[in-house]
Chain A
Amino acid sequence: MIKNVIANIEHVTVLPIIALILFMLVFICAALWALSLKKSEASAYGRLPLEDASVNEGEHRHE
């Protein structure tokens, strides 16, 4: 059945549309997630690379 549906070239064109809809869904979900982050949370998460918990943290920084 699936084989017959996809084999018809007119129906094959539905695949790019499915792809586009899937992408839009993923994009909207990701955007909603991102926007739902509180500013304080986003700011704290963004600082994680700067806080690596080493005991002598910052000792070797050149700057």
Chain B
Amino acid sequence: MSNIETFRYDNRIVRNFALATVIWGVVGFLVGLFIAIELFLPGVSGNLAELSYGRLRPLHTNAVIFAFVGNGIFMGVYYSTQRLCKARMFSDLLSNLHFWGWQLIIVLAAISLPLGISQSKEYAELEWPIDVLITIVWVIFAINVFGTILKRRERHIYVAIWFYIGTIVAVAMLHIVNSIEIPVSWTKSYPVFAGVQDALTQWWYGHNAVAFFLTTPYLGLMYYFLPKAANRPVYSYRLSIIHFWSLIFVYIWAGPHHLLYSSLPDWAQSVGMVFSIMLIAPSWGGMLNGLLTLRGAWDRVRQDPVLKFLVVAVTAYGMATLEGPVLSIKTVNALSHYTDWTIAHVHTGALGWNGFLTFGVLYWLIPRLYNTQLWSTKLATTHFWIGLLGIVFYVVPLYWAGIAQGLMWQQFTPEGTLQYPNFLETVVQILPMYKLRAVGGTLYLTGAVLMVINLIATVRSGSFEPETEAQAAALTPPTKDVDGPNPWRHRALERKPVLFIVLSLVAVAIGGLVEMVPMAIVKSNIPTIPSVTPYTPLELEGRDIYVNEGCYVCHSQMVRPFRAETERYGAYSKAGEFVYDHPFQWGSKRTGPDLHRVGGKYSDSWHFLHMEDPRQMSVGSIMPAYPWMLHNKLKTSGIQKKMSVLRKIGTPYTDEEIAAAPDAMMAQAEEIAARLKAQLPDRASQIDANREIVAVIAYLQRLGTDIRKSEVVEEVAAQ
């Protein structure tokens, strides 16, 4: 061929992302271990606000998802896209902007989350300026990848790149829709959606963050690095086509399975459940395609730690994607939801699928980037076994804990009362499992440290190759001879990357539109309740503190319509009760009890002492202490701006209410302070109306009480 071109693959950007993956991985695991320990030793934080569980848990999830896995994705994408397209990345400048922009986002997250700057939407906690930055950096990434595809020298776009395209398109859509928020200040915003709509948007995002950030890009990596490591092509290329299209189309519908038995309309719950069950088919198709790629090479799995990691990763993917649909069956979900079963499930995926696949790729990639051999195969094998033990010690105790606690919540005595009416009893029972989980986390982290040692030694023993020279023929315009007479064939489609991108967007957008548009426009989906009124200024401020402290990570605000729940908490939650909740606070885990009906359940002084140190009121409680709330001054200056913003997005505050807000706030605070002083005479000198705790108490005492007003009205009307 006469038009052979010589070019160079950029290895620097791959090396940079690999380095970031390792560093942030260790940081993310360390934070995870720390918060795992906090769950049985709540005092380990030293009662420092910045180290409290509610603030650090979002840091852990963001660190492992966006820093560890995120950098892992980019490492793999930048390495494989260049080689599959037989082209250098579109722009070195964009590559570097992407790298440094992403690291800046991570650093901003690592600073802002411990400071309590949070939107409280799971895996989307970062505040609006960081959201904007994420959008910009993601667009840079998209241009760089799409530009590389357009200037490729290989006519066929390999299936791994389809998964990258699907990821880029879907994550952009999810992030933008879920981040529609109105800023109040640089560190505070309110989402435009409220209550049920906000919940559906959030879990459409949250579920698909798992789907399109933790799964589809990693499937792309699997389709590239597994054949590479096994030195044989993927088992069935045809199956990979079906895998791709059916997976991205089905995944996007499944979000409502996070909201089963909630106040979400039943039709949306059913759609979520059915599509979740259907997900087994494409997921297992992909898993089998991965495992069968090793046909005839299983003997090498015994010797090669890279293949060991990849095999366990793909198996963990299979386990997690079987378990996910099972958990989406409503009757199973009734038991599993809010328990540690979910935590075990996600860690099968995170530790097994994402973690082990990343480790396998790193062990394969680093020696190649540095022109050397892996320093110690034995140490890598040791990492494999310690990591595997870590996963077992992590997930098995949590399955036990989740199922045991779920059953205890539902257990009735023969007389028909709750067997364990005190929530804390069910927590104390599972503390040994939490300790075992920390052992699992320690093992997993130890394995990662061994990997760091091994990779450093590998790097030292080799010399980095910043660029790899390659040669390939330039693409010639398509001809009938090559494309065949029938254009309606996949190979024709995949030669038109722009059309491919548009079709991917259509596939992922349909699910979102069908589920979310009716929810947003149909009033009958959210029956209004006349007695539900907006929060007072003080309650609003208290709610914002609740949001910033991350209370939602341990407390739900959603009483499901089960007798076991209504007996324990009170009337089940109605959609109309959340219409002023920007953002919703339904939560997804009950490490502590549900709080939707906590209003009026305890005295103000109980809350005061409980927040100061939960163990003063509940011996054995594992809740963090919040002593700083007793000292931090209540912010009154921003309340009018907050109310004005909320009015713009539908909360009916009047001009008069907004004008009088600071005064109204302090008046209500004085009332609460007076009650506290009366209830705690020996602490009277320490009680001040102008403290955060007063606002938090105002909010907690308001929670779930509006509906009782309507009950009183109905009773009066009946008389």
Contact = CB atoms under 8 A, between A and B. Distances in A.
A37 B84 contact: no
Interface in A17-59: 18-20, 22-23, 26-27, 29-31, 33-37, 41-50, 52-56
A22 B86 CA distance: 36
Contacts of B470: 52-55
Interface stretch (B327-335, B407-415, B519-527): B519-527
Given A42-B237, A43-B237, A55-B470, A49 B224 contact: yes
Contacts of A50: 227-228, 231-233
A54 B228 CA distance: 14
B156 interface: yes
* Tier of interface size on chain B: 35 or more
Contacts of A63: 231, 300, 304
Given A7-B524, A37-B237, A53 B511 contact: no
Contact of B83 (A9, A26, A54): A54
Contacts of A7: 522-524
Contacts of A37: 237-238, 241, 490-491
Contact of A45 (B156, B225, B253, B489): B156
Given A16-B274, A62-B374, A23 B249 contact: yes
A49 B522 contact: no
**Size category, A interface:** 35 or more
B80 A62 contact: no
B368 interface: yes
Contacts of B271: 15-16, 19
B374 A33 contact: no
Contacts of B232: 50
A25 B523 CA distance: 31
Interface in B214-256: 223-225, 227-228, 231-234, 236-239, 241-242, 244-246, 249-250, 253
Contacts of B156: 44-45, 48
Contact of A27 (B80, B227, B246): B246
Contact of B521 (A3, A12, A20, A52): A3
Contacts of B86: 52-53
Contacts, number: 141
Contacts of B80: 49
B160 A49 contact: yes
B518 interface: yes
A39 to B, nearest CB: 9
Given A26-B507, A53-B83, A34 B239 contact: yes
A28 to B, nearest CB: 10
A62 B373 contact: yes
Contacts of A36: 489-490
Contacts of B153: 53
A49 B238 contact: no
A21 to B, nearest CB: 11
Nearest to B510: A22
Contacts of B267: 9, 12-13, 15-16
A60 to B, nearest CB: 5
A55 B469 contact: yes
A32 B524 CA distance: 41
B679 interface: no
Nearest to A59: B371
Given A37-B238, A53-B472, A48 B84 contact: yes
B531 interface: no
Most buried by A among B160, B233, B275, B472: B233
Nearest to A7: B524
B234 A46 contact: yes
A12 to B, nearest CB: 5
Nearest to B281: A27
Contacts of A53: 83, 86, 153, 470-472
Contacts of B524: 7, 9
Given A49-B227, A54-B9, A26 B237 contact: no
Nearest to B472: A53
**Which 9 pairs of residues, A with B, have the shortest CB-CB distance?**
A33-B490, A46-B233, A52-B83, A30-B245, A34-B238, A34-B241, A46-B237, A42-B237, A53-B470
11 contacts: A7-B523, A30-B241, A30-B242, A37-B490, A41-B491, A46-B234, A49-B84, A49-B224, A49-B234, A54-B469, A62-B304
Interface of B: 6, 9, 80, 83-84, 86, 153-154, 156, 158-160, 223-225, 227-228, 231-234, 236-239, 241-242, 244-246, 249-250, 253, 265, 267, 270-271, 274-275, 278, 300, 304, 367-368, 371, 373-374, 468-472, 489-491, 493, 507, 510-511, 514, 518, 521-524
Given A45-B158, A63-B300, 20 more contacts: A6-B518, A12-B265, A23-B246, A23-B278, A26-B245, A27-B242, A30-B246, A31-B242, A34-B238, A37-B237, A37-B241, A45-B237, A48-B158, A50-B227, A52-B83, A53-B86, A54-B468, A60-B367, A60-B371, A62-B367
